[in-house]
Amino acid sequence: MTQFFEPAERLKQIPPYLFKEIDAKKAEVKARGVDIIDLGVGDPDLPTPAFIVEKMQAAVADPGTHRYPAYSGMKGFREAVARWYQKRFGVELDPETEVITLIGSKEGIAHLPLGINNPEDINLMTSPGYPVYQMGSLFAGAYSHMVPLLRENAFLPDFHDIDPLTARDAKAFFFNYPNNPTAAVADKEFFTRMVDFCREYQIIAVHDAAYTELAYDGYNPPSFLEVPGAREVGIEFHSLSKTYNMTGWRLGMAVGNKDVLAALGKIKSNIDSGAFDAIQLAGIAALDSDQSCVRENCAILQERRDILVGGLKKLGYDVEFPRATFYVWLAVPPGMTSMGFTTHLLEKAGIVTIPGMGLGAPGEGYVRLALTVPKERMQEALTRLEKVG
């Protein structure tokens, strides 16, 4: 019988879903009655702050929010983003031209290549990294050139290792600090070098800043837009998902270069109809708040970090205390692969982790753990690790 349907060629180019094997093994272990501790999910377990929920509830009850929203976002939300950037980073933004509302930053990152790339363009991107950088480029017909994040470079890209011919042909450079999955941080000196590199080669800098508000020990990660020239060469994506535990709400923003944002906006106006106004009103409440909820969130995550990383160090693991994000980048024991160690932890201890190589080849030799379970579960995970070795 002739096959009726054949998927588009671009779908055939998507790499195999490595985590399907992990999911199958997880189900198998769970079926044996094992209590699973999932340190693989990058999804906050803490609830959205009550005042944000209450604002949403009131907004949903208002019939005025039930109609189509503005494509580029509610004016009030874009103004709130501008106020937040000014207060948090000292960056002044024009809410009319330098801020656009997103249905979560993932959506905006995925759609951006459709507005900036032509088929067979090259986009640079750090690896290991968030898979959507590569997938968005693939769907736009652009090639992805991976720039490795290595421990000897503090998990920052080495501009000298990028072939000048490749850089000359590149259209965009996707990077992310504080970094998922390595938890590395970047300072303004690095951002200045990124601006210089992108200006030299006429590359659009695309910074994913989703984790700037999850930081510890008094550290305040900077925005890429804080450094001179950043707005001229690029944009920054941000999200309310991790900052306010709003992953399911789907609300984010892109800010910076008005021409790049206009291209993204034109794509979005032809694909989606904008974020629900009620969610944007709740977002305004979040951004305009005193941010005490963010500080409380970070205090809980820092306690979990200290328990997990401190315990891992006592057990002899090669790991550092992250200064930001809710991830721990753990070197696997000598002689093991990241997938092998992931399987070992799941089968022997019922602990789910993410193998580093699943997020990019340079991630081999590491697993990612997330601080998204209560501290009691963190301690239980450590107890199991001590037993299984």
Same domain, 270 and 345: no
Is 377 within the bounds of a domain?
Answer: yes
Is residue 62 in a domain? yes
Q: Which residue has the tokens 């109809």?
A: 273
Q: What is the structure's pLDDT at 26?
A: 86
The number of distinct structural domains making up the chain is 2
CATH of residue 141: 3.40.640.10
Same domain membership, residue 274 and residue 158: yes
Q: Which amino acid is at 133?
A: Y
Q: Which residue carries 């941000």 as its tokens?
A: 238
Three-class SS string for 273-291? Answer: CCCCHHHHHHHHHHHCCCC
Instruction: Give the separation between CA 233 and CA 194, rounded to whole angstroms.
Output: 10
- Is 262 contained in some domain? yes
Could you give the strand order of the β-sheet that contains 366-370, starting from the edge strand earlier in sequence?
Answer: 327-331, 366-370, 354-355
Token readout for 339 is 């997938």
- Tally of residues, the chain: 389
Q: Examine the fold and report which residue of 270, 287, 304 is the final residue of a domain before the chain moves on.
A: 287
| CATH number assigned to the domain comprising residue 308 | 3.90.1150.10
Same domain, 97 and 37: no
In a domain, 3, yes or no: no
Terminal-residue alpha carbon distance, the chain: 53
Q: Please, which residues have CB within 8 angstroms of residue 158's CB and are 6 or more apart in sequence?
A: 147, 150
Whether 5 is covered by a domain: the verdict is no
217 and 348 fall within a common domain:
no
Q: 238 and 360: one domain?
A: no
Instruction: Provide the residue type at 113 as one letter.
Output: P
CB 346, CB 352: distance < 8 Å: yes
326/300 Cα distance (integer angstroms): 11
pTM, entire model: 0.95
Of 287, 315, 340, the residue at which a domain comes to its end is 287
**Contact by Cβ (8 Å): 83, 76:** no
The answer to whether residues 130 and 240 belong to one domain is: yes
Give the Cα-Cα-Cα angle 33, 39, 41 (nearest 5 degrees). 105
Q: Is residue 282 domain-shared with residue 299, that is, in the same domain? A: no
> Rounded CA gap, 256 and 246, in Å?
23
Same domain, residue pair 272 and 316: no
In this structure, the number of other CB atoms found within 10 A of the CB of residue 100 comes to 26
CA–CA dist 233, 228 (Å, integer): 10
Which of 235, 261, 287 delimits the end of a domain? Answer: 287
Instruction: Confirm whether 218 is domain-assigned.
Output: yes
Domain containing 275 equals 50-287
Give the CA count within 13 Å in the CB-facing half-sphere of 218: 0
What confidence score (pLDDT) does residue 16 get? Answer: 75
With CA atoms as reference, report the closest residue to 224 among 239, 209, 242, 203.
209
Are 79 and 158 in the same domain?
A: yes
Which of 68, 55, 57, 112 has its CA nearest to residue 255? 112
Distance CA 59, CA 62 (A): 5
Per-residue pLDDT, 2: 66
Positions of the chain with pLDDT lower than 70, given as ranges:
1-2, 17-18
Is beta strand 99-102 parallel, antiparallel or unpaired with respect to 170-176?
A: unpaired
